[in-house]
Amino acid sequence: MITKEMKVSEVLKNFPETLEVFIETSPHFKKLENKFLRKALASRVTIQQAATIAGVELNELLYKLNKKIHNDYQEINSDKNELSNERKKPEWLEKISEDKIIELDVRPILNSGRDPFLDIMKKVKDLKDDQVLMLINFFEPVPLYTVLGKKGFEHYTIKEENKFKVYFFRKETETQKSLDSHQSIDSIQSEFSKVIELDVRELPPPEPMIKILETLSQVDENTLLLVHHHREPLMLYPKIEERGYEAISNKINDNYYKVLIMKKRN
């Protein structure tokens, strides 16, 4: 049975015939026909998030998917989409000067068949403390809220006729985040009975990622993987997330990051 918590990639891998259902349900899912985008985007999106992104009823999508794989499937729940909360436009956003808003329109990137994740993360990394990132997309980038939320960002979303504008802003200054990050790392390390250290700073790409992913098999609930890296491994995050892990990255200097990787906790 297909549930709302399952990743789109998991559903398509186990039930490839459901691709037809996604595409028929909403034109937003048309991009799943692109194998590269399907691999890159679907691995980060749950069925519930996909329904929100496409603007379709979650229960309707679940019914169609399950009906495709089981002809005798009966609708057993009436979950509605948990849409992002609509909030009044923040006062700071009303007053902020336009030169402080950094715009990134990812629609051309998506149309070219590329995953815009790295482009987004680079913009986020380059943001100054008093700047705001305005992301423009065809759909609401729900999974990105979680990714950037872990990095200390809040968001405000505006839905227009055929696009979404999402403003991402830091909850606090970069200095405060850095101090909190140090404290969090010390605290987290003390919670584990075993720490595996892995230094990949001298390895050429893609060996650091390969080495880290290979080492994940040794990381259980009582084990912490401490990676010494020469840069923040942005491409690694979605790969470990789909494997059930999470990471905290701490910048020591321009060429040195400490990355803590652990099993996700409920």
- Tell me, what CATH number does 241's domain have? 3.30.110.40
| Residues of the domain holding 105 | 91-170
Q: Mind listing the pLDDT tens digit for each residue in 70-129?
A: 876 665 454 444 444 456 777 777 778 889 999 999 999 888 878 888 999 999 988 887
Residue 78 forms part of a structural domain: no
Residue percentage of the chain with pLDDT more than 70: 85
Residue pair 243/216 in contact (Cβ under 8 Å)? The answer is yes
- Can you give the pLDDT at residue 241? 84
Mean pLDDT of 168-180: 52
pLDDT at 179 over 50: no
Enumerate the H helices of 55-173 as residue ranges: 58-69, 91-95, 107-111, 117-126, 142-149
CA 231 – CA 218 distance, rounded (Å) = 23
- Can you give the pLDDT at residue 57? 83
Domain shared by 143 and 158, yes or no: yes
The chain-wide mean pLDDT, for the chain, equals: 82
**Total domain count, the chain:** 3
Domain termination residue (choose one: 118, 142, 170): 170
